[in-house]
Amino acid sequence: MADYDLIIIGAGIHGAAVARAASYDGYNVCIIEQYPEAGLATSNHSSKLIHGGLRYLESFQFKLVKECLHERSVLLKTAPQLVKLIPFHIPVYKNTKRQSCLIYLGLTLYRLLGGGTFKKISKSEWHSLDGLNTDNLKHVYQYHDGLTDDKKLTQAVLADAIKIGAEFLPENKIIKIELEEESVHVQTSQHKIISAKLLINASGPWVNDTLSKVTPSIDALSIDLVQGTHIVIPRTISKGIYYVEAADKRVVFAIPWKEHCLIGTTETPFNKKPEDCVPQKEEIEYLLTTWNQYFNDTLTNDDILESFAGLRVLPAADDSAFNRKRETILHTDNDKNAKIISIYGGKLTAHRATAEAVMEIVHKRLPGHDKTDTSVLSFES
Ligand SMILES: Cc1cc2nc3c(=O)[nH]c(=O)nc-3n(C[C@H](O)[C@H](O)[C@H](O)COP(=O)(O)OP(=O)(O)OC[C@H]3O[C@@H](n4cnc5c(N)ncnc54)[C@H](O)[C@@H]3O)c2cc1C
């Protein structure tokens, strides 16, 4: 007999969210993490936004935006101590690629999808916008979206799962996975051998590395890992987030973060092991240049307080990562009795919806449990 109904590999936001949903539904869950705490990988290196993603409208990802805006509203109700609405400012200059009519259209669509109201900031108030460069400035739009502490959010979701009965095994790296007729057995670096009826592969950028440990071998999806770097600079911005266009026309955010300012992000192809992901010199220069351009400042490398990088998991393709689909992909072996469900990509914002989608599959494979509506369950920080 298997030790658990579910083993979840990875205590990032997705693993924690599946552990929470499955525990509320009455499944017996064990979540295994290689690091000492939950939320130390991608889910600690995001832009920390709980948002629909205004910029995803440019690549027509309406379903994703709508789902994320719904999840934003759920989190604002169920975790108000962790997720706050904050003003976002979009300055439009004479040479900005996304001109005023496009921003207006985007914000109107965003509002229709559930993103809330927006307005133009009057010229007489521009001087109060944290030293924003006003040369050739034509308009500044303001709307609202959510900001969180991604690591704290992940740990709060996991704490709720543990409260309901999930077991958490930190500092255990999965090194071997064996599929058997009725169960799946995993072996960890601490020599633990644990079995379950189903395995959820929530190992983020290690998703295919985890699948490579399975015998007999199973299919993996073809993916690109794309690195995103952030820097923290010693500047205080008090009016909210700034949403600006970098020299290559990508969107970059300047975000108030723990008394300082967080700037990100980049999209750099990545071909090493996920654990070797570190900010690159060129990425830091790109972010500094963007800040200096918009805030009449001359920050240099020496001013940087901290920098960090995380990895996006995107479907493999030849086009630019910026417009690539950001929806979560759930992958199971073609066999209808497949025992492994892998989570590819996704958004911090949509973690609860992703967990619900995983649970749809789990309920079909392991019937006999009632579904709990997690969208109405509050959790603590
Ligand atoms: C630069 C960047 C900015 C982003 N900004 C935003 C944003 O502002 N808003 C938003 O909604 N989304 C954002 N995202 C997306 C979001 O951060 C990710 O989708 C999410 O954090 C992924 O979570 P995860 O649980 O899948 O992966 P992770 O957080 O990486 O968790 C995977 C876990 O699995 C563990 N693990 C892996 N292999 C093993 C093993 N063999 N044994 C045991 N444990 C293992 C890892 O240690 C890790 O803790 C951003 C992503 C990036 C890269």
Tokens of residue 322, six digits: 């910026």
115 in any annotated domain = yes
pLDDT attached to residue 320 = 72
Mean of the pLDDT values across residues 162-171? 98
| CA Rg value for the chain | 21
Q: Whose CA is nearest to atom 17 of ligand 1?
A: 46
CA atoms within 13 A of residue 284's CA, in its CB half-sphere: 18
Does residue 316 share a domain with residue 284? yes
Decide: 142 in ligand 1 pocket, CB within 6 A.
Answer: no
56 in any annotated domain = no
CA of 320 to the centre of ligand 1 (A): 21
Does residue 278 share a domain with residue 144? yes
Does residue 241 share a domain with residue 143? yes
15 in any annotated domain = yes
Does residue 305 share a domain with residue 245? yes
192 in any annotated domain = yes
Proportion of the chain above pLDDT 70, given as a percent? 98
Decide: 54 in ligand 1 pocket, CB within 6 A.
Answer: no
Does residue 228 share a domain with residue 218? no
Q: What is the rounded average pLDDT for all residues in the chain?
A: 95
pLDDT attached to residue 333 = 73
Confidence of residue 285 (pLDDT cuts 50, 70, 90): very high
Decide: 146 in ligand 1 pocket, CB within 6 A.
Answer: no
What's the pLDDT tens digit per position in 204-237?
999 999 999 999 999 999 999 999 999 999 999 9
CA of 42 to the centre of ligand 1 (A): 3
CA of 221 to the centre of ligand 1 (A): 17
Contacts of 318 (CB under 8 A, 6+ apart): none
CA of 43 to the centre of ligand 1 (A): 4
Decide: 308 in ligand 1 pocket, CB within 6 A.
Answer: no
Does residue 293 share a domain with residue 254? yes
Does residue 262 share a domain with residue 245? yes
372 in any annotated domain = yes
68 in any annotated domain = no
Confidence of residue 296 (pLDDT cuts 50, 70, 90): confident
At 94, which CATH number?
Answer: 3.30.9.10
The atom of ligand 1 lying closest to the CA of 172 is: 43
What's the pLDDT tens digit per position in 17-65?
999 999 999 999 999 999 999 999 999 999 999 999 998 898 888 999 9
53 in any annotated domain = no
Q: Whose CA is nearest to atom 2 of ligand 1?
A: 46
Does residue 184 share a domain with residue 218? yes
Mean of the pLDDT values across residues 253-281? 97
CA of 126 to the centre of ligand 1 (A): 37
The answer to pTM > 0.85 is: yes
Decide: 106 in ligand 1 pocket, CB within 6 A.
Answer: no
Whether residue 259 has pLDDT greater than 90: yes
Mutate which of 47, 188, 192 for ligand 1? The one with the most ligand atoms within 8 Å of its CB, which is 47
Does residue 169 share a domain with residue 113? no
Give me the domain span that covers residue 230.
86-148+223-323
